[in-house]
Amino acid sequence: MAGSIPIQIKTAKTTPAERRAVKGSKIVPVILTAIAILFFILMLIVPLISVFAKAFEQGANLYFASITDPIAWKAIKLTLITIAITVPINTVFGLTAAWAIAKFKFKGKNVLITFIDLPFSISPVVAGLIFVLLFSTSHGLLAPLLNAWGLKIIFAPPGIILATLFVTLPFVAREIIPLMEAQGTTEEEAALTLGASGWKTFWLVTLPNIKWALLYGIMLTAARSAGEFGAVSVVSGHIRGLTNTVPLHVEILYNEYKFSAAFAVASLLTLIALINLIVKNVAHWKIKQQSKI
């Protein structure tokens, strides 16, 4: 067009310092990622491989013989019984406590939260000693009642179950409380407004929203129940074939220099940890998918 003034576009030139800064900003994530991967390999992959390598060091026959040994099987059976009792009880408690804390306002809420977090702040060994002071039939505070009724809790399976219940108390509640608080009460209030009962609201509205976090909390409880050592060691008495769980049996085998057998039994706990890791990743992915909807 005649008489028009040409427009000149000037491109901004980056200085050497700016180019170095951009290059440095690209290198930092690569270095951090490499450090994280290296840490993951050294702290997780290498120990996992070592456990199974040591377990099969003397052949598959010894591996399966160590697992199917009558004493080992009794330890596995006691561990499974402990899980079967502990997980449902703490699941019901965790759901009830989380529902109350996240959905209602009441006096004593902080006390309940403190009670839930108590096992995190007390050493498992100290927790075991507390149960001994309470339930020992020789010097416990409740010894007269226990002796009168003929009950034995310490150095018996009931003591192991009680100690495991205590140390695994927070896991379900602590997994679902933040999620339930973030979700609020809008959907529950809408369901109640439409005439649904409280129980129906829980089953059809609340539970579907927290099912993956609940599953992860249950898996954490089961894994900790299977692998608990400190509190169980104190209350069990280490009676072989009667009060030894899998971790205690592994300790005994290791102290007797039966290393391959010890790692063979320990591989069962490792498998539980791997399953727990898989469930954790699936649960976190599902929770993220729900938050995007």
Residues 249-271: b if buried by 16+ CB within 10 A, e if exposed: bbbbbeeeebebbbbbbbbbbbe
Q: What is the pLDDT of residue 193?
A: 85
Residue 7 has pLDDT above 70, yes or no: no
- Residue count of the chain: 293
Domain ranges for the chain, please list them: 15-55, 60-292
Count of CB atoms within 10 A of residue 155's CB?
Answer: 19
Please compute the mean of the pLDDT values over residues 2-22 and round it to a whole number: 56
State the Cα–Cα distance between residues 215 and 193, nearest whole angstrom.
29
Q: What is the pLDDT of residue 169?
A: 94
Residue with tokens 């649904």: 196
| Residue of 256, 273, 265 whose CA lies nearest to 52 | 265
Q: What is the pLDDT of residue 292?
A: 64
- pLDDT > 90 in the chain, percent: 42
Contact (Cβ atoms closer than 8 angstroms) between residue 254 and residue 262: yes
Residue 30 has pLDDT above 60, yes or no: yes
Q: What is the pLDDT of residue 93?
A: 94
Residue 124: band (very low, low, confident or very high) from pLDDT cuts 50, 70, 90 = very high
Residue 17: in which H helix or E strand, if any?
Answer: helix 16-40
Query: Which pTM value belongs to this model?
Result: 0.83
- Which is higher by pLDDT, 241 or 17? 241
Q: What is the pLDDT of residue 73?
A: 94
Count of CB atoms within 10 A of residue 284's CB?
Answer: 13
> What is the CATH code of the structural domain delimited by 60-292?
1.10.3720.10
Q: What is the pLDDT of residues 157-213, one digit of tens each?
A: 999 999 999 999 999 999 999 988 888 888 888 888 888 887 888 888 888 889 888
Q: What is the pLDDT of residue 170?
A: 93
Q: What is the pLDDT of residue 71?
A: 93
Residue 109: band (very low, low, confident or very high) from pLDDT cuts 50, 70, 90 = confident
Residues 62-76: b if buried by 16+ CB within 10 A, e if exposed: bbeebbebeebebbb
Transcribe 177-210 into DSSP letters. HHHHHHH-SHHHHHHHHTT--HHHHIIIIIHHHH
